[in-house]
Structure 1
């Protein structure tokens, strides 16, 4: 049982009152575990209240009131009785003001004496024992402070509040007074030893030892609690924590990791160091959550990054190329994570990566080019795609899809797609080969049988297309090949064709695909037209006429939308074909008066049955071009014809006739005399009655390589003409809106406007500016200025 408290003191006696209070505070401060009974607690509370409101004390302390300046004049005692409630209240509060100061001063002296004892006891402890002692005393002291603060709550509400309101410094509520005394009388004397012990504990943990983490957390919390705002005692700051805990902690952290990283790098590989650095960064991040204050997180991270990453960044970057060469994706990802956390840490890596990808792309194309000119477009496009796919995956997985690495990848791909060994002669080779590969996919017989597989391949084509600079070249070749697929009804599916055009439209806009879409419309209109023609024939033709007519299908194609040219040779079609063509023309002109039809014989095709062949159970069917059909139908009248007979009957020029005869000879449909002779004026051709083939349907309509080359050359000429028109229209459009411009500004603006279609050359732009001047669209003024002529 605690010793009995003395009798409640006389309320007017300061010495007796403090003696009574001191005994009670001792019980709270020193014997908190035993507690204070409620009766004693209330007696202590009452003693503070009674003393502060004592009337006799008011009279006995008038002189002191006057000494303080007479802010609250106190009337004589007799006046107190008769002055009324208002005067009485002023007097009592004024006295409480004075008496509170004495109690406050005595309490402060008591706390200083108490902490002097605690300080002396602390000298017998060191390291972890000191931390345990500090935490126990801190817990005991702050808990007791809450009780004492409540005992003095009347003092807090009146005297302390009045002093603070008047701007008095070094006056706090009783609880805060405890913290101030702890800081001034105890903390200032022990904080260095305490921090040394804390830092030793943290170093042990960093070295792999198990420590009592709660001790450090308690120390951190006590340092934080000691932060007081000098201008507002009710507010707390982190100044004490930052000065006495955070700064030494950060300094010790820097020193520890400088020593460790220096030694580790000297003894281990760069990859092992990166693993170590990443682990250490994770540990320090976890340490904040375990027992440090969140305020330290940013500074701690910056310090660790500075020591572990920035200080060794050159070493890490030197390893980057080695990791790329060996495709060490996991280690590349680790390097990216580390260097991305420091300022400009990744910049040198991006340029290294870009050069690496460019070299890989050039090497892949070099391998394809080494096979000569006979390589398939698929081989070339696959080589480009494999490089892109490999490094796109690397960017996504190792570099987190970071936009700047994506830009580096794009720059590298653009470079090796447009400027490689195969494109050395002309930069238009890539778009041409891409268009040819697209054509092979969209033609019937494509190996990508599954619709989903084909769609994926089209997506990959668009990946390469994105990097192609000469997009107008792709458009020209693609439109020509699309025209052939549509005319020959050889598309793998309408859905696939539509999907590809949609992708091109999304990438380059409506204008890029406008003609392609109009081509599809013409095909649909032609289907409807053929249906109408069939109905018309049923009405106007009798049975005999129908038997003489060839079963035909017609496609009427708009001149402005289809990239098709008239035939390069005269052609006298067989009478069977002529009769049918004239019949269709009559029907068409009845529907569309004033239009003109040009027959594109070079694109027409058909089938003929070989009823003459011996020993054939089922007659062979020859799939032929119209030119081949015209040649073969001549043999209905005779078995043997000379070269001149055939040329005279068909009126085909040798450049067209000779390759078609060569195909018929190679397939052994015709036999040349003399044997093995090539088509020329001295050659005679005989129908082969013993023709044999494994297939019943024999395709003879094969495009000749020389025709392909001529067609490609014609396409390139068209591209040059189109570019000239595009440049001139851009120049006129710009000048029309601007009226006057400097020559250099005009050139730059033209480049900006047309670069999405092709990269224009400055000399070409200048040449077209001169051409427009000659046509009086624009004129040159003084000072290298150009003006638009309205």
Structure 2
């Protein structure tokens, strides 16, 4: 039969079929009218008595064996709005929710009877199972479209309101649970305690009331243990404290949510770190840096991040590096600086500092190192010489030396000293000893440009040409193996002066051969200087000295006694053509105990001491190189210090003019951050007292600095 035929026989007032079907009101799909008799529409009144009986059985009798499907089916039917009864579902919801509210009010009255966690847990388990059954059974009534909350939510809202009105009683229950949690920390008690925890979680007052009490109880319980551990070494304390916190977090994990765990963890971190922050940074940090304890720094940084102290911690750590880098009172400060630089890099890698924090620490390190910039430059050149003279410099050491060089303020001073010591190393005439120097020079050229390394390049060029001349002479067998010579340009060493001293006959022919070859092949004009020569003399007739190593001037001085055994100083000067003042100075050096008392001076007559002796039998006389020309260092240093005093005074006034009053320690930290140079505690106190006397500021007994 066609649709049109059916349509002609249907009653236009016939009801739509609704049982087992769903009408999509947003769809244009037609809903067929029933060709059968009318089906009665379900109503709330139809099920009211049945619902009432079953609610009583569940909430009052605790009978959960009823088929929940019947409630769900009724809820689904009444939840569907109809044309005639659009509020049936609301009537059912209001009816059921009133029973839930009454049930919640009754539950609250039982809380005062709780004596232990067993009672709390078992009672709340029973209540939860009842309210869960009701909430699930009538869940179809609570849809997004009708905006009705779940019945369990309704129940919990009433419980929270009632507990807030009887807060002391709820506090008592919380104390019972917390006491049991702190005293019985064994897995056997976990399940019972978890059931009791469910009560406070469902109370609506967990975050507001229970959690703060729980956290405070844990903090109070471990406080003495933390304080006792803090009396020991810092690295041990940090390790023990973090382990203790982790143990507490592991114990609490079965009972509270991840967000609550984070709150507990933060408060425990405040206990072990924030509350002891000042002692850690003042006393502990310098020890950690000196001991190079990267593990402790990593722990501190993690704790600082968790407690929002990271910026302050990095700031205080940078001050420690600044103080450690100002180390020029040590015996070998550059070795300390290199070691400190390695420590700084190690800490950066261990703690994973941000680029901004690395910059802060590095800046303070630079500030401390350049507190005496001229001294720093000179000492770095000495350290480079000490490392390079062995000819065995590792890539790591070379990298650290370059890193320290980068932070030098007076790089021009460094290159002067470096060239000075380089010339000494070049005089060894050993190729392997200058390989590291060449590599170092290439890096300096990259960092500072070709003009900066010009004096160094000229020295290496002189060495190269000298070796070429020497190789040519040796191939011709014009000179013996023991003779070698090096050329320096006058520009690379302006302090060298031509020498008028008589060159010993044993050396003169070979020196002339070298000069002739250099002039012919390299087109060089040669001037001799015995001051930079290295000579080894064989000694006969002296009891305790077999060989002497010295420069050409000392060699000429000593060789003069082969012809005349005893002479006046003036006679020695005349015989050797060495300036008389230089002869007097050499005489003073050679008659000292350090030189084995090689020279005797009796009645102004100078002679060789046949009883002279040194421990090894080999006397080494230190080379006396021409000094590097320097400016008036003392005047410059005084000017620098005066300028620094003025900068400190100006910055103190500037800060206090804005802040009006600051704690003495806080002001010092602010100044250290603001100034471009290192300010130690003595300098700080001196400037405060000066400003106080001049009435720019006022120092009070409480430790505050006030602006006038």
- Equivalence for 1:11: 40
Deviation string, structure 1 residues 189-214 (Cα, Å, up to 9, x no partner): 45767954662245315643446332
Does structure 2 conserve the Cα–Cα contact (< 8 Å) formed by 1:336 and 1:346?
A: no
Quote how far apart the aligned CAs of 1:142 are. Answer: 2.0
TM-score by length of 2: 0.59
The answer to whether residue 128 in structure 2 is matched with residue 141 in structure 1 is no
Separation in 2, partners of 1:298, 1:658: 81
Sort the Cα spacing of 1:309 and 1:202 in 2 relative to 1 into closer, same or farther, 3 A: farther
Deviation of 1:570 (Å): 1.9
Q: 1:716 aligns with which of 615, 619, 630?
A: 630
Report the secondary structure of 2:183's partner residue. Answer: coil
Q: 2:286, 2:320 within 8 Å by CA — same for their partners in 1? A: no
In our comparison, the structure showing a higher alpha carbon Rg is: 1
Q: What is residue 213 of structure 1 aligned with on the other side?
A: 193
The alpha-carbon distance between structure 1 residues 252 and 721, as it changes in their structure 2 partners (threshold 3 A), is closer
1:655 — aligned with what? 581
Asked if the contact 2:124/2:198 (under 8 Å) is kept, the reply is no
* Alpha-carbon separation, structure 2, partners of 1:605 and 1:701: 10
Aligned to 1:231: none
Instruction: Give the counterpart of 2:485 among 554, 572, 583.
Output: 554
* Alignment match, 2:257: 293
Distance change in 2, residues 1:722/1:503 (3 Å): farther
CA distance in 1 between partners of 2:525 and 2:632 (Å): 24
Per-residue CA shift, 1:419-444, capped at 9, x if unaligned?
A: 6xxxxxxx745654554455455446
Deviations 1:544-572 (A, max 9, x none): xx59x896323233444x33533364234
Q: Give the direction of change, closer, same or farther, for the CA distance of 1:202–1:285 in structure 2 (3 Å limit).
A: farther
Cα separation, 2, equivalents of 1:664 and 1:277? 65
Q: 1:262 to 1:646 in 2, by over 3 A?
A: closer
Is residue 2:197 matched to residue 1:249? no
Post-superposition offset of 1:642: 7.2
From 164, 169, 178, give the equivalent of 1:203: 178
2:685 aligned residue: none
- Deviation (angstroms), 1:400: 9.7
Is residue 93 of structure 2 the alignment partner of residue 99 of structure 1?
Answer: no
Cα distance in 2, alignment partners of residues 633 and 246 from structure 1: 97
* Aligned: 1:526 with 2:452: no
Aligned mate of 2:512, from 582, 590, 598: 582
Alignment of 1:130-209 (within 5 A): 130-149=120-139, 164=145, 171-172=147-148, 176-183=149-156, 188-189=161-162, 195-196=170-171, 199-205=174-180, 207-209=182-184
Find the residue that maps to 2:95 and give its secondary structure.
helix
**Over residues 13-46 of structure 1, what are the superposed CA-to-partner deviations in whole Å (9 max), with x where a residue is unaligned?**
7444555666677788777653539xxx5x7777
User: What is residue 36 of structure 1 aligned with on the other side?
Assistant: 67
Q: 1:214 to 1:580 in 2, by over 3 A?
A: same
Report if aligned partners of 2:285, 2:320 keep a CA contact under 8 Å in 1: no
Deviations 1:255-297 (A, max 9, x none): 7689x599979x9897599999978865775576333333445
Distance 1:491 1:428 in 2: 31
CA contact (8 A) 2:462 2:487 kept: yes
Distance 2:410 2:224 in 1: 53
Aligned in 2, Cα 1:263/1:297: closer, same or farther, shift over 3 Å? closer
Deviations 1:679-710 (A, max 9, x none): xxxx476x89x79978999556543xxx46xx
Q: Distance in 2 between matches of 1:121 and 1:641?
A: 121
Shift in CA distance, 143/106, structure 1 to aligned 2, threshold 3 Å: closer
1:676 and 2:602 matched = yes
- Equivalent pairs counted in the alignment come to 575
1:116 to 102, 121, 136: 102
Shift of 1:483: 0.7
The match for 1:381 is 333
Shift of 1:480: 0.8
The C-alpha deviation readout for 1:604-658, integer Å capped at 9, x for no partner, is: 2344567xx5799xx9665453334445666777777776665445432213344
Q: CA distance change for structure 1 residues 380 and 177 in 2, over 3 Å: closer, same or farther?
A: closer
Q: Which residue of 1 aligns with 2:529?
A: 600
- Given that 2:317 and 2:361 are in contact with CA atoms closer than 8 Å, whether structure 1 keeps it comes out as no
- On the 8 A contact 1:435/1:477 being kept in 2, the answer is yes
Is the CA contact (8 Å cut-off) linking 1:122 and 1:133 kept in structure 2?
A: no
SS at match of 1:596: coil
Q: Is the CA contact 1:361–1:387 (under 8 Å) kept in the aligned structure 2?
A: no
Measured after TM superposition, the shift of residue 109 of structure 1 is 0.6
Question: Following the alignment from structure 2 to structure 1, what is the Cα–Cα distance between the partners of residues 171 and 619?
Answer: 94
For residue 552 of structure 2, what is the aligned residue in structure 1? 626
Q: How has the CA–CA distance of structure 1 residues 513 and 147 changed in structure 2, closer, same or farther, with 3 Å as cutoff?
A: farther
Partner Cα separation in structure 2 for residue 24 and residue 384 of structure 1? 85
Contact 1:324 1:332 survives alignment (8 Å): no
Preserved CA contact (<8 Å) 1:620 1:698: yes
Instruction: Give the distance between the partners of 2:348 and 2:339, measured in 1 at CA.
Output: 14
Q: Distance in 2 between matches of 1:651 and 1:621?
A: 24
What RMSD in Å do the two structures reach over aligned CA positions?
A: 6.2
Which digits, 9 at most, give the CA deviation of each residue in 1:123-156, with x for residues without a partner?
345334345323322233324533444xx5xx78
Name the structure 1 match of 2:456: 516
After superposition, where does 1:358-437 map in structure 2 within 5 Å? 358=323, 365=329, 379-381=331-333, 411=364, 418=371, 428-429=374-375, 431-432=377-378, 435-436=381-382
Deviation of 1:600 after TM superposition, in Å, equals 2.7
Contact 1:11–1:17 under 8 Å retained in 2: no
In structure 1, C-alpha distance between the alignment counterparts of 2:246 and 2:444, rounded to whole Å: 47
Tell me, yes or no, if the aligned pair for 1:621 and 1:698 is still in contact at 8 Å: yes
Secondary structure of the 1:134 match is helix
Residues 456-503 of structure 1: CA distance to partner in whole angstroms, max 9, x if unpaired? 887887798788654543432232122112113479944555676678
Contact 1:305/1:342 (<8 A) preserved: yes
Task: Give the gaps of 5 or more residues in structure 2.
Answer: 1-37, 638-675, 678-708
- The 8 Å contact of residues 573 and 579 in structure 2, kept in 1 or not, is answered as yes
1:224-277 Cα deviation digits (max 9, x unpaired): xxxxxxxxxxxxxxxxx5xx331223554587689x599979x98975999999
In the TM superposition, what whole-angstrom CA distance separates every residue of 1:380-419 from its partner, at most 9, and x where no partner exists? 5389669969997998999998997996898589659856
CA contact (8 A) 2:496 2:529 kept: yes
1:487 matched to 2:516:
no
Inter-partner Cα distance in structure 2 for 1:262 and 1:631: 80
> How far apart are the structure 1 equivalents of 2:360 and 2:41?
86
CA pair 580-270 structure 1, distance change in 2 beyond 3 A: closer
Distance 1:528 1:382, change over 3 A: closer
Deviation digits for residues 765-787 of structure 1 (CA, Å, limit 9, x no counterpart): xxxxxxxxxxxxxxxxxxxxxxx
Which whole-Å CA distance do the structure 1 matches of 2:99 and 2:270 have between them? 46
* Structure-2 separation of matches of 1:50 and 1:339: 59
Whole-angstrom distance in 2 between the partners of 1:135 and 1:591: 106
Counterpart of 2:418? 478
Q: TM-score scaled to structure 1, two decimals?
A: 0.54
Change (3 A) 1:98 1:398: same
Seen in structure 2, the aligned counterparts of structure 1 residues 136 and 466 have a Cα distance that, compared at 3 Å, is farther
Partners of 1:216 and 1:31 in 2: CA distance: 20
